[in-house]
Structure 1
Amino acid sequence: MAWFMLGLLVDVQLPGGESVADLFSATKALLDFVYMAQYSVHSGATLVALERSLSEFHAKKDVFIRLGIRDNFLLPKLHMMTHYVRAIKLYGTTDNYNTESTERLHIDFAKEAYRATNHKDEFPQMTQWLERRKKMLQHANYVEWRLLRVQREQRDLIAARQEIHWRPPDMACPLHHLMTKHPSRKAVPVAELVSSQGYGATFFRAALARFVVEFDNPALARNDVEAQALQVRFPFATLPVFHKIKFRNVKYHDKETLDSIHARPRQIGQNDEVLIPARFDTALVRVRQSENLEARNGLAGKIPFNSVSNNTHM
């Protein structure tokens, strides 16, 4: 329609001897505004031209009243044109805007609702029909969501049964132990360490005494170590304790924890309920000695402190 409109108005004969110039100018100004508003790129000059064309239309629009086409110009779309320049400056160009969404909603909310009435006092009927339709759609969406959720839970359960939750890491590479900077408990009484209700390291005192003797006198025979260990006295009553040792290989596995050893007693609440159960992992520890020490002892592969093998979790 916009393509042919000006061509039809060029030589149209208006009643009452009215000049076609004002009608032509008003129509041209409105068409200019419509086309310039669709630009995909705007500048200061195009926005000024957009405002100028709208001002020209308002200056010439009285011709439609004189011709009896309209009594007033109280039109929402005509009022919206006054906000176009400001909206373009704030939100960008209008090349992606159209009225298809509102036209489609008019079909759903007006035409179909009207067809569902008896065409008498239709407004309350349309409102009630739309409300019931909305509730039905919401219920249908809820039922579909529940069915999909049940199916997803069943698939997850089957996958969980088939999935291997944990695989042992590749232990072919050497492991390096890593411990926290500060102990888990700073001062644990030795009595708690050796108690069966605590850490359960029953032979801790004897094993530590033998280790001290062998460390100070690596050339002593086994019987001499046992004899001197009985004379060792410790000048402390508490010791710091670490509850976890981690093993890593940064070269091949970065900061991934490949293995770990836990050693912690159970924690009891106020009502004698077990808050955290005890955990003492079994570990096989190999202590390598220097070649000179092994030569002096004459025992290749001798492992000091081996009497603590029954309490490896400490």
Structure 2
Amino acid sequence: MVKSYRCKYCGHTFPSMQGQRSHLAQAKKCHEGWQADLDTLCIPSSSNLEFHNKSSSNNNDQTAGEGLGEQPATDISVLDIDWNADAPHFAEPPAPDETPVLEEHGPEWSCELFEVNGDIVNESSTPWTETVELWCRNPVECIRDLIGNPEFKQYMKYAPYRLYMNEDGTKYWWWDVQPVYLTVGNIDKKICQCPSARATVLVGYLPVTKLECFMKKQRSNIGYQLFYQCMESLLELLKSAGSVGVEMTCADGWVHRVYPILTAYVADFSEQCLVACCLESQCPQCYEHTTSARIVEILRQQAEGLKPKAFVSQGLRPVNPFWAHLPHTNIFQCFTLDIHCQLHKGIFKDHFISWSTEAVDSGSDEVDRRFKSMTKHPTLRHFNKGISLVSQWMGNEYKNMEKVFLGVIAGAVDKCVHTKKAWSAIHENKKIFIELHICEAFNIPKFHSLIHYISTICTHGTLDSYNTKSPEHLHIDFAKSGNKRDYTAQMATWMACHDVVQHYDIFLRWAKGEGILDVQDEDASEAQVRGTGRGYSVAKTPGYGYVPIDTLVNKFGAADFLWYLEEFLLAHSLPIPPHNVPFGVFKHLSVTLPQIPQVSDLVNLRDVIRTTLAEPAQDRKKAVPAQFDTVLAFEKAGLSAFSDPSNPLKVAQVCVIFQLPPEYGHFDTPLAYVEWYTPLKTYIPSLGMYQIGRSFQNRYRQISIISINQIARSCHLIPKFECSLLESADTYYLNPDLCLHDFVLLRYMDPNSI
């Protein structure tokens, strides 16, 4: 019997709970009736907190205790409610047999057995057999569950779906199976990249077996074919769904005919070769102009013993591909490039760092010295021990090294190396490493893959949507939740129960009108804020209190504070009282950045600028050095200055952020004591950076007191490493690689256009 869901206000029935919800959201009279009854359904706030605490404890207790496998599966569905909390709407708790059980859950798990007959015979002269398990869920139902999630309504577009697959080992017991992940291409990429949003779901576990029932020389080919058989079984339902379509209730409340089509396959190089049925000496993406049907025909002829020449020339494997009958799919155009494994870990960490270090005269000692002496920025990790002692390389380490690496190696090798054009053009300069006898050739798949980046971005969009970072987060979460005993079955049971809790959590937020959990931009240094246009924010109370002028001169390094303060007061027709009046001094300033649509769709971003004094060591607490950040600012004040070509952006170091006392008259904004650098005129093409230095007037540093409205954003300077300290160096490079916004602004836009 097919279960249906009935609207009690109009009597209509719906095949799913999502359809019923969509009806209640759109039918006016039914929605009004539902809204009137909602008060009797609302759970008090403390009970809601208890629900989240219980769901969290169920997530964490599986490893510590005996595991979910020894508990009734329905236990997690019965949620305890504190009936005495916050004046409940119920006179008394319901009887145990009336306790509501959550009915909605995700797609169910099933186990399919594959029996493999080996070529090794046992003592009774019969072949050894091995049985492997394929745990899977209906991918069409997974898509239905994702595309109908009302939380994704404002993030939903209409496009094909993506299939994620990852096999990176983390040395957990979990890797006796290979997970397959699925997400929907309709959902915005910033939601898919957030593990807590649950926009990427696990659709199956592929078996990973040693196939000891076969001779060693056969195990590899049999393993390939077993992989294809399991994947074909897993995606079987997509064949008809992609051809004729499936009606689904989507997040916008309407029923659409959906055609789930495989359009993107995320995997490392070896797995791409496995899926493409080619040897690892070939490039799977170079087949993109060859149709899947053509490759399938070559494989069919080889299987029939015809031995086509194309089979050898194209380096194919004699297998039966799972994608042969997937509708509207050219598997070779589905492969994407993984910036996490191929760029950050592969090209940068495995090759460029070691090669560049070997090219430096003093080797790792000089590179470490430069990393140690690198200037600091609130969004940049400082390697105070260098990089040669980094024991665990993660994505965060790669990215922070890359932000300053070009400035670190500048000037570190022989002059002849720098006569080459454009360090940033890798293929034009890679022969430098051959000339220095660091490597013999560049027949490396990760380097070859660079030629596919432009075409992949054009067909699939920016590659941050396709790296394996998000599935790896899910690997860790799921692996820690198991009890390591019959773990595949137990994991499927655990996730099925966890789906029930997640669906109920979604329902609670939907009923209360709450949206999806906050999703932040990938760059953690830039948080979304409300409002539009330029702006700033400082603490309500000055962080250093009210400081006398002597302290500003001696501790903050503002030696000429009085001179430039009087100059500022005269320019703005403000009174000059006695000099014994203290000033309110702030530790931080946040400026609101304008939107750069090429980077992010967030309306406004916040950038933090620090002016903090050094803190001495105390007990176990280490000493903290002073931080006086550099910024991009305008010398002239007034809104018209931002569009005045005679008032370009200049780099300045902020020494003090302060508020004028009432004795000095009224000024709308706090002020900043800054030391200027030379204009952005000297551009170094080989580095893609502006070269600047301290600005002097009559042999004295150029200093001003400006309104903080004249500060556009923070910036990062890399010393030219003949000197190692910011204060003693003569020349600096303005770092365009600090974040994506700086990269676009300083390399591809006019810095004065912000």
Give the TM interval when normalised to the shorter protein: 0.3 to 0.5
The structure with the largest alpha-carbon Rg is: 1
TM-score (norm 2): 0.16
TM-score normalised over the length of structure 1: 0.34
Q: Greater share of helix residues, 1 or 2?
A: 1
**Going by fraction, where is strand more abundant, 1 or 2?**
2
